[in-house]
Each structure stands twice: as structure tokens, then as C-alpha cells.
Amino acid sequence: MDTIDTMAETFKLLGDKSRLTILGLLKEKELCVCNIVDMMQMSQPSISQHLRKMKAGGLVKEVCKGKWTYYSLTIEDKPYVKDILIHVPSQASKISLLDEQLSASVCD
């Protein structure tokens, strides 16, 4: 069970539009930084900084696969975050567009 202080820090993380968008994307699927950069049209250092803060706050985890680092949600112990993410607008269309672009580049 999180303390009030821990929950307050988590809510601060969720109060940033970019971080909330990233969480919405990760709600759909595991992604690497380069995918998030493409979808959000932000710099790689900026996205990495947001991911670093969310990892420190226990919201995301990273897994290295070859030369890429993939991020996914790790909110099983934070039911209040799960409840909030239910209300975050779906990012599925951005994910679908990315998947289409990746499929097209592989087939070219």
C-alpha cells in the first residue's frame, strides 16, 4: 500500500501532459523510445527524461532487447493509476499508424 507522500509524487508525474500521453501509449503496448519519439514528435532526450522519471516513480519498467530498450507499464501495485488510465483517451490510432509505417518500411 502506497503512502500519501508516494501517491502525491505519482500524481505529480501524472500531471504532465507528455507523461500522461506516454502512459496512454504504453497502455496499448510495449514500445521503444524511438517509437514514442516518432508518435509524439518530441526529441529523444526529452522522451528519455520523461521515461526516466516514470521509471523512478515505479510507473514503467524497461527491458533491453538487443540494442533497443523497450518500456512497458508496471502499475499492478497502483490500482489508483489503473483507474486513471481507464479514462485516458485511447492512443490506439497512433499505435496503429506506427505499426502500418513499420510494416511498410519492412516491405520496401
61-79 pLDDT per residue, tens? 999 999 889 999 999 999 9
What pTM was estimated for this model as a whole?
Answer: 0.89
Residue 99 pLDDT level (bands cut at 50, 70, 90): confident
Domain that includes residue 23, residue range: 4-102
Q: Are 68 and 32 in contact (CB under 8 A)?
A: yes
The CATH number that applies at residue 15 is: 1.10.10.10
Strand order in the sheet with 31-32: 31-32, 68-73, 60-65
Whether pLDDT at 106 is above 70: no
User: Is 58 part of any domain?
Assistant: yes
8-state DSSP, 90: P
User: Is 65 part of any domain?
Assistant: yes
Sequence letter at residue 21: T
| Number of independent structural domains in the chain | 1
User: Is 107 part of any domain?
Assistant: no
Whether pLDDT at 107 is above 80: no
Q: Are 36 and 68 in contact (CB under 8 A)?
A: no
The CA distance from 99 to 61, in Å, is: 22
The rounded percent of the chain whose pLDDT value lies above 90 is: 83
User: Is 35 part of any domain?
Assistant: yes
8-state DSSP, 58: T
Q: What is the pLDDT of residues 6-32, one digit of tens each?
A: 999 999 999 999 999 999 999 999 999
User: Is 108 part of any domain?
Assistant: no
